[in-house]
Structure 1
Amino acid sequence: MVDPAAHTLVRAGVLQPLEPKAFAVLLVLLQHPGELIGRDDLLDQVWGHRHVTPGVLTRAIVQLRHALGEDPQHPHCIQTRHALGYSFIGQLEDATGLAAAAAPAEGGESPAATLPAAILPRPTEAAAELAPPPTTPSPEASPPVWSAAEPTAPAHAGPVRWLTLGAIALLAGLVAWLVIQPRAPPRHVAASVAVMPFVNLSGKTGDDYFAEGLAEEMRDALAGVKGLKVAASVSSAASKDAVDARALGDRLGVASILNASVRREGARLRITARLTDTVTGFTLWSHTYDRELSDVFGTQSDIAEAVVHALLGAIPGEESALSKRLTTTRNEAAFDTYLQGMQLLHHADQPDAANQAIARFGQALKQDSGFAKAQAGICRAEIWRFQSQHSPAALDNAKAACQRAEQMDPGMAEVDQALGDLYSVAGDPERALLHYRKSAQAPGQAVNAHVGMAKVYAAQGHGDLALAEFQQALKLHPEVAYIHAAIGYQQYLDGKIPQAVASYRRAVELDPRNAENWGTLGALYMTAGNDAAAAQALQHAIEISPSMDTLTNLGMLRYQHGDYTAAVALERQATTLWPDDFRVWGNLGVALQADPASNPADTRKAFEAAASRAERFLQVQPDDAQTVAELGRYRATLGDTVEARQLVARAEALGGQSGEVALLDAETLALLGDLGAARQRLRAARAAGIAETQISSNYTFRRLGLLSPPTPAGTSGGTEPPAPPASAGHPVGG
C-alpha cells in the first residue's frame, strides 16, 4: 500500500522505512506502469536537474527493492533495463472487480467492517479534497486502480485473507487515483530539514552557548546546499513543545529533523546526531562522534555531509563547500569565544549584552587575527548599541569594525550583512542595498538581508518595494518572530499602531521568552492608550530580563498614573543601565519635574544630560525628526528660547512620525508661552492618533490649562508619549 500524501509504503502490514528521494522514485515509476523510465529522466524528475552522481539513483532502487521484499535477480515490481533505466512491472489489478468479488450477500456485513479499525486509512487533507463523491460509480467511470500481487502469494487464500485483500485493494484504488490524478502539493518538501537546538549534556549550564552555537553553524551551512530546504532557527521552547517528530514536521513543513546532543569534557568532545523522517518517525541516519575537541570542525563537516547524502545523495564538490562554510577559523579556542559572543547577540535583551559580545569577539580576534566573522560580529554589536542606546561613539566603532571585516573577507555573507546594516543606519541607502543584495545570495543570511532592504525602501518612501521585501522574508520563514517584529516596527514608524500591535502580538506568540518584543509591545500599547495591557506587557518583559526601554516606559506609565516616586525610581534605574541614551535622561527629568519631593537642581541636571546626549546623536543622525523635537523640548525647559523655536521649525520641516513630533512641539511651544501654537499642535497630535491619555496626563499641559475640552472621565495622570521602541527590529542573529 502506497500513500503519497502520508509518504508511506506498507508491505504485509508493516511500515517500510524509505528515504524521501527513494519514495519519490517509486511514485514516478507508479505513474508510468510498464513503461521504461530512463535513468536521466528519473534523475531530472526526482533530483531536479541537479548535477548528482548516478549512484544516488542506484542507492534509491536498492532501498525500494528492500522495502518491496524482492530479489533483484528475480524482480516482481521493479525491473532494471541495463544502461537504460527502470520500469514498474508489478501486476496491477482493477480494484472494482476485487471489491465486487469480496462483497457479501445483501444484508451482510461489509468487508471493511470485519477488519480491525487500524487498517482503515485515515483521510489526509489532500485525500479529503481529491476523493470522489460518496456514490457508487460505474466501472467505466472508475479511475484505474492498482494492486500489486506477489508471485509467491497462495492461490487458494481463505475467506479472511480474501477480505483483507479486498480492503487493501480499495485502499490501493484511492492511492492510485491520487497518484494518477492532478494532486495537491505534498505536505513536506522531500529534501528538507529542521536543525533542532543541540542538547548540552556536559552537565554545565554555562556550556549551553556551545551546543546552541554548533546548531546555528550547522543550520547556516546546510542552508547553502542547493536543493535542500532548511527551516529557520527553532527555539528550544518550540522544540520542547513538539510531541514527536511527526508533530514538529507538520508544524515546520519539513520532511526530516536533525537532533544532536553535545558532551564536552576537557579536551574530548562527543556528539551524537540523528536524522529522523517526520512522516514515518523512523531514523534515517544516526552516528556518535567521539573525538578531540580540536576536531570540532571536522565533526561538524562529517555530520553535515551525512545529512546531505541521506536527503540528496552524493553531490560533487558539496563536501568541500560544506567544510569551508563550517571552518571559518582553524583555532578552536577562537571559535569557542566567538560562539559566546553570538549567544550574547541572540540574547540582546540582557543588560550590557552588547558590550559583553564585543569583548568576546575581540578576544576571538586575539586568538585568530584573521577571523572575519568575529570582526563582523563586532560591527553588528556596535550597530546594535547605536540603535538601542543612541550612542554616537558606537557608530564610529561600527564603521571601523566593518571596514576591517571587509578587508579580511570581502566575499563573506556575514560581512555584507553587517555592511548593509552599517550603511542603512548611516544614511547611505544605495550602498546598504548593494551589500544586502549580495548577502541575500547566501541562504543563511537571506531573511536578514530582505528585512534590511525592506527598512531601506520604507525609509525612502517606497512602500511597495518594502512590502515586497517583507513578504519575501516571510515566504522564506513565516514563523520567525524577528520578521514579524521588524514589520511591526515599520508599521509603528508609519503611524499604523493597531497593525503594529498585531504584528508584535504575533512575534511574542512565536517567541514568548523574548523580553525585547514584550517591551516593544508594551510601548505600542502605551501609544495606543491601552495602559492596562501596556503595564502587563512591560512587567512581563522586566520579569524575563530588565532593559532600559522597558524600565523607562514603565516609569512613564507610572508617571501617567500619578505615581511619581515609582516613576523616578524606574527612570534612575534605566539611566544606570544605559547612561548614553538621551531619552532616559529626558524621561527622568519629566518625572523629577512632577515629583514634589525632588530637588530642582537634579531636574535641571537630568535635562542638561538629555540635551547634550541628543546633540551628540544628531551629529550622526541629523534627519531624525523626533530627536530634534525632543531636543527642542529640553532647550525650552532649560530656558534656551531661541534655539527651542528653531528646533521646532526644524523638526516639522523634516517630517516623519508626525504625531510624536506634534506632541513634543506642543509642549515646547507651551513652555515658550505660545499657547495658541501649542493648541494647534495638540490638534495635529490627536489627528495623527496620539492617545488622549498621553495628552491629558502631561504635566505642562495641565499646569498651563491646555486640556480643553476637559479630560474624559476615566483618564488619569501621565506625560509625553513613551520613548519609541528603542531596540526593536534590528538584526541580532537568526
Structure 2
Amino acid sequence: MNRMESGARSRGATPYRFDDIVVDPAAHSLVRAGVPQPVEPKAFAVLLALLQHPGELIGRDDLLDLVWGHRHVTPGVLTRVIAQLRHALGDDPQQPRYIQTRHALGYSFIGQLQDDADTGTPPAPAPDRASVDDLPATGLQVASPDLPTSQREQVGSPRRERVDPESAWSTPESTPVHGWGIDRRWKQRPWLALTVLLSCALVTWAVIQRVTAPASRLAASIAVMPFTSLSSHPGDEYFAEGLAEEMRDALAGVKGLKVAAPLSPDARNGAADAKALGTRLGVATILDASVRREGQRIRITAHLSDTATGFTLWSHTYDRELSDVFDTQSEIAGEVVHALLGAIPGESDALAKRLTPTHNEAAFDIYLQGLNLLHRAPSSDTADKAIERFGQALKEDSGFAKAQAGICRAEIWRLESKHSAEAFDNAKLACQRAAQMDPTLPEVDLAMGDLYRVAGDAERALQYYRNSMRAPAMRVKAHIGAAEVYAARGQHDLSVQEFQQALQLSPGDPGVLAHLGYQQYLDGNVPRAVVSFREAVELRPSDAILWGTLGALYMAAGNNADAEQALEHSIALEPAAATLTNLGLLKYQAGDYAAAVDLRRQATVLDPQDFMTWGNLGDALRADPQASAADVHKAYEQAAARAEAYLKVQPNDARAVALLGLYQVVLGDAASARMLIKRAESLPGQPGEVALQNAETLALLGDIEPARQRLAAARAAGIAETVIASNLTFRRLGLLSPPGTAGRSLGAEPPASRTSKGHPPGERHE
C-alpha cells in the first residue's frame, strides 16, 4: 500500500475529533469548543484531505490537484485557505498544533485524532515526523510523495468518500469527480464502465506525470521589479527604486527563498507578461509595486504575481504616513514570505530589522538618493554627489552605519575610476567610522574588503569579503571583489571561479558582466571584454557608462565605426569625461585635432582631478598646430602632478607609471622617464598598454630600436593596429616602416600624441 492509503482512515462520513474540535464531513461543519466556525467549501475540502492522512506530508501541488484540479489556481490560493483553516481551528502558525507547514513542500495534520467517543477506541498515536522535520527548508521545488492513483482520495466535494479498490466502485450515486459522474447503474451499461475506466486511467497518468516529473524551476523564488514612482515630482524615481532595492536585499536574507538578481528600470520594458519574465529570470513569482509620495503621506500598492499562470497571488494598498515607511516595507515583506513559504518563527522581526537601517525617515530618504547616485554613476561628478548625500544622511542620523559605509565605497570608486589620490585617505577614514558604528554590518565588511583590495592587502581583503558573504544581498559584490583580488595576484583560475559564482548567484546581471568585462580587458582579452559589455548594454540600455565603455573597447579592438556610434550614444544619454576623451581620441585618429582638443577640454571641466584627462588634453594639444607650447606644457604639468599623487596610494598601477614616464619626457625630464619605463615593465598588468606607452616614450628619447621592440610587444599583446598607425610620433619617426627605413629626425617635428585610451574601459559598477 502506498503512503496515502496507509494513512487514510476507513470511516466513511464519521466525524473527526481532536481536542475540542469536531469536523463532520456529512454535515460539512467545523465546531470548536461548541461554537460553529465558518469555513468555505474549498478550505473544508483541504482540511478533509489532511485529516484523512494524518501525519503525512501532502505536497502543495497534490492539494491543488485534489481540491481544485489545478486549473487556473495559484499556490497563493492554497496559502490563504490554510490561513483560514488555522483561524477556524485556533491554530498558531508560529507554534502549530494541528497544521504544520513544510516550507516550499506542503502541509500535514499533526494533531491527535480520536476515534468515535462511544467505541472506547484509544486515540491514534502521534505520527513519527522525524524524517520530515529533519529535512532542510531549502526552498527548492521537491517532488511530492507518491500519491494513490486509482485509489486516490477525491476531496473536491465534502461528501465524497475514498474510492476503495476492494469495494468495486462504491462511490455514492451522482458523485462528481473532476467534472464527470459515476453512477451505480454502470453494471447495466458496460460501455459506460469502460469509458469511466479509461477516463480514470488518463487522470491517473496525468497525476503520475505531475508528481514524478522533475521540477523545472524553484517553487520559492521571486524577482523584485523596480518599483514605479507615481509621485508628481519627476525626480522621485530614486525613492521608489531604493525601496525596491531594500526589499530585495531583505528578502535575500530569508532562508529557503531564492531572490533574482537586481533588475534595472529597463527590465520593465516588455515585462508586462509575468509568464515571460518568470521564464527569463527562472523564478516562480514577481513582486511589483507603485509608490506615490505626496507631502508626508505615502501610498504603496504591491502585487505578487505567479509566473506560471500570470495571475495575482496577493495584492494590497498601504496608505500611510511617510514616517511609517519602514513598518509598511516590513508588512509587505512579511506578506510575501508568508505567501511563498508560510509562517517562519522569528522571520518577521528579522525582516523588520533588515528593512529599518535607521529610524529617521529623512536620513533614509537622503541615503536612498546617495545609493541611487552610487549605483548609476551617470557622470564624472556622481561620486562627489553621492558622498554629499551620504554626509547629509549622517547629519540627520549620526549613527547611520550604512550611510558611512556608502561614503567609503564612493571614495574607493573615485580612487579607481577617477584616479583621485585624496580619495584613498578619505575612504580609510570613512570605513573606520563605519566599523566603529556597526562592525557586524555586512555593508561595512564589503566596504572594508574594497578598501584593503585597493591598498594591495589581499589577505585582509579576502577575509572581509568572506565575512560579507554571510549576508545573501552582499554575496555577488563580495565574489566580484574577491575575483579582482585574485586577478591582481595573477591567480586567474581563482579569479574566474569567483566571477562564475557571482554570475550563478546573479545570472544576467549587467553589473557583474561589466566587472567581468573590465577584468578581461585588464588581462588583455579585448574580444571577450567586448562580448561581456555588449551583453551588459543589452540588459541595461539606458546606462551611459556602459555604452561609453563599450565604445572604448571597440576602439581597443580597432573597430572605430562601432566605437563612434557607442560613444555618441553614451554622450547623448549623459556626457562623461571618459566618453568625451575617448571620442576625442577618435577625432585625433581621423586627423581632426581641433575637435580632439575641444572634446578633451570639456573632459577636464567635468573631471579636473583625474590625471588622465589632463594627459589626454596634452596629447591632443601636441598634435594641434594651432596650440601653443605653453598650453601643452601646462596640461602635462597638471597630468604629472596628479599622476605622482595617485601613484603614492596606487604604486602598482603599471599603466599609470608608464604614462607618467611619457609626461616627464615631454616636460624634459629624460632621467625620470627612463626610470619610470623600467618600473612600469617590472609591474604586472596591462602589458599591451604599458608596451605602447613605453614605445612612445623611448621614441621621444631617440631610442628607436627599443621603441620598435615595445611596439612589437604591444601588437603581440593585442593592441589594435588602428591605434598604433594613427600615432603621429610613430609615423613621423618611421616606426611604422620596416626596420632600416629612414625616418624623420625627432627635432624636425613637434612631439606626437599618444593613442591609448584616456581611461580604462569602464567605470566602477554596482
Same fold, TM-score > 0.5, yes or no: yes
Q: Which residue of structure 2 aligns with residue 411 of structure 1?
A: 440
User: Relative to structure 1, is the Cα distance of residues 362 and 25 closer, same or farther in structure 2, using a 3 angstrom cutoff?
Assistant: closer
Choose which of 377, 380, 387 in structure 2 pairs with 1:358.
387
Aligned with residue 630 of structure 1, among 638, 649, 659 = 659
Give the AA of the match of 1:664: Q
Distance, in Å, in 1 between the alignment partners of 2:202 and 2:585 is: 66
**Alignment match of 2:73 (pick from 2, 11, 16):** 16
1:137 maps to what in 2? Answer: none
- Superimposed CA distance per residue, residues 389-419 of structure 1 (whole angstroms, 9 cap, x where no aligned partner): 1001111111100100000000101111111
Task: From 459, 473, 485, give the equivalent of 2:514.
Answer: 485
Matches of residues 555-704 of structure 1 in structure 2 within 5 Å? 555-704=584-733
SS in 2 for 1:336: helix
- Report if aligned partners of 1:4, 1:27 keep a CA contact under 8 Å in 2: no
CA RMSD of aligned residues (A): 3.4
Residues 9 and 15 in structure 1, CA contact (< 8 A), matched pair in contact too: no
Asked if the contact 2:224/2:263 (under 8 Å) is kept, the reply is: yes
Structure 2 residue aligned with 1:349, among 378, 387, 390? 378
Q: How far apart are 1:242 and its partner, in Å?
A: 1.7
Which structure 2 residues correspond to residues 506-521 of structure 1 after superposition, within 5 A?
506-521=535-550
Q: Aligned residue for 2:224? A: 195
- In the alignment, residue 18 of structure 1 is paired with which amino acid? P
The answer on whether the counterparts of 1:632 and 1:644 sit within 8 Å (CA) in structure 2 is yes
Partner of 1:172: 203
The separation in 2 between residues aligned to 1:153 and 1:427, in whole angstroms, is 78
Change (3 A) 1:70 1:38: farther
Are residues 159 and 236 of structure 1, via their aligned partners in 2, closer, same or farther at CA, if it must alter by over 3 Å?
Answer: farther
CA contact (8 A) 1:376 1:405 kept: yes
One-letter amino acid of the structure 1 residue matched with residue 156 of structure 2: G
Name the SS for the 1:260 alignment partner: strand
Determine whether 1:298 maps to 2:385. Answer: no
1:226 aligned partner: 255
Contact 2:139 2:256 in 1 (8 A): no
- Structure 1: any 5+ residue segments left out of the alignment? 30-35, 51-56, 58-64, 78-88, 95-146, 712-716
Question: Contact between 1:19 and 1:311, CA under 8 Å: does it hold in 2?
Answer: yes
**Cα shift at 1:163:** 11
Kept in 1, the 8 Å contact 2:154–2:160? The answer is no
Please list the CA deviations of residues 567-607 of structure 1 after superposition, one character each: whole Å capped at 9, or x if unmatched: 11110011110011111111111111111111121111111
1:69 and 2:104 matched: no
Match for residue 209 of structure 1?
A: 238
**Do the aligned partners of residues 172 and 578 (structure 1) sit closer, same or farther apart at CA in structure 2, a change above 3 Å counting?**
same
What CA distance in whole angstroms lies between the structure 2 residues aligned with 1:567 and 1:493?
26
Show the counterpart of 1:133: none
1:721 aligns with 2:752: no
Give yes or no for contact 2:452–2:460 (8 Å, CA) kept in 1. yes
TM normalised by structure 2 equals 0.77
Q: For 1:206, what is the secondary structure of its paired residue?
A: coil
Counterpart residue number, 1:308: 337
TM-superposed CA distance for 1:726, in Å, is 5.2
- State the 1:28 CA deviation: 11
Q: Distance in 2 between matches of 1:622 and 1:585?
A: 20
The code of the aligned residue for 1:507 comes to A
Q: C-alpha separation between the residues in 2 aligned to 1:297 and 1:672?
A: 65
Q: Secondary structure at the match of 1:275?
A: strand
* Matched residue, 2:578: 549
Distance 1:309 1:581, change over 3 A: same
CA, structure 1 residues 28+667, in 2 after alignment: closer, same or farther (shift >3 Å)?
A: farther
1:179/1:170 Cα in 2 relative to 1: closer, same or farther (>3 Å)?
same
Q: Deviations over 1:123-176 (max 9, x none)?
A: xxxxxxxxxxxxxxxxxxxxxxxx967896545799999999688656535423
Instruction: Kindly indicate whether the alpha-carbon contact (under 8 Å) linking 1:25 and 1:46 is maintained by their aligned counterparts in 2.
Output: no
- Report 1:153-164 matches (<5 A): 153-154=182-183
CA distance in structure 1 between the aligned counterparts of 2:506 and 2:555, rounded to whole angstroms: 30
Q: Aligned pair in 2 of structure 1 residues 9, 180: CA closer, same or farther (>3 Å)?
A: closer
Return the match for 2:502 from 473, 476, 482.
Answer: 473
1:154/1:25 CA distance change after superposition, 3 Å: farther
Instruction: Say if 2:438 and 2:444, in contact at 8 Å, map to a contact too.
Output: yes
Displacement of 1:369 in angstroms is 0.4
In 1, Cα distance between the equivalents of 2:555 and 2:430? 37
Cα deviation code 1:173-228 (max 9, x no counterpart): 542342465x33x2321111111111112222221111111111011001001111
Q: Percent of counterpart pairs with the same letter?
A: 58
Contact persistence 2:330–2:351 (CA under 8 A): yes
Equivalent pairs, count: 638
Residues 69 and 25 (structure 1), Cα distance of their counterparts in 2 relative to 1, 3 Å cut = farther
2:591 and 2:155 map into 1 onto residues whose CA distance is: 77
Mapped to 2, the partners of 1:497 and 1:28 lie a distance apart of 57
TM-score by length of 1: 0.81
Match of 1:114 in 2: none
Aligned in 2, Cα 1:467/1:392: closer, same or farther, shift over 3 Å?
same
Corresponding residue of 1:390? 419
Give the Cα separation in 2 of the matches to 1:177 and 1:476: 33
Report the Cα offset of residue 498 of structure 1.
1.0
> Which one-letter code corresponds to 1:689 in the other structure?
G
Verify the 8 A CA contact 1:8 1:280 in the aligned structure 2: no
Partners of 1:214 and 1:494 lie apart in 2 by: 37
Cα distance in 1, alignment partners of residues 765 and 193 from structure 2: 63
CA distance in 2, matches of 1:495, 1:92: 75
CA distance in 2 between partners of 1:448 and 1:227 (Å): 21
Distance 1:292 1:357 in 2: 27
Q: Is the 8 A contact 1:376 1:414 kept in 2?
A: yes
Query: Is contact 1:21-1:312 (8 Å) kept?
Result: no
State the SS of the aligned residue for 1:513. coil
Report what 2:745 is aligned to: none
Contact 1:558 1:718 survives alignment (8 Å): no
Opposite residue 666 of structure 2, the aligned amino acid is T
Structure 2: segments with no counterpart, 5+ residues: 1-58, 80-102, 110-125, 145-151, 169-175, 742-751
> Measured at CA, do residues 67 and 689 of structure 1 come closer, stay the same or move farther in structure 2, by a change above 3 Å?
farther
Aligned mates of 1:560, 1:47 — CA distance in 2 = 60
Q: Secondary structure at the match of 1:276?
A: strand
- How far 1:521 sits from its partner (Å)? 1.3
SS in 1 for 2:658: helix
Q: 1:211 is matched by which residue type in structure 2?
A: A
1:251 counterpart letter in structure 2: R
Aligned residue identity for 1:172: V
2:738 corresponds in structure 1 to 709
Shift in Å, 1:346: 2.0
SS of alignment partner, residue 205 of structure 1: coil
Q: Deviations over 1:417-448 (max 9, x none)?
A: 11111111111111111110011110111100
Q: Report if aligned partners of 1:699, 1:718 keep a CA contact under 8 Å in 2.
A: yes
- 1:190 alignment partner, SS class: coil
Helix, strand or coil at the partner of 1:15: coil
Question: Could you tell me whether the CA contact under 8 Å between 2:297 and 2:319 is conserved in 1?
Answer: yes
Counterpart in the other structure of 1:339: 368
Structure with the greater alpha carbon radius of gyration: 2
1 CA distance for matches of 2:707 and 2:139? 68
Counterpart residue identity of residue 757, structure 2: P
| Aligned-partner residue type, residue 175 of structure 1 | A
Residue 262 (1) aligns with residue 349 (2): no
Task: Tell me which amino acid in the other structure corresponds to 1:725.
Answer: P
Distance in structure 1 (CA, Å) of the matches to 2:374 and 2:154: 47
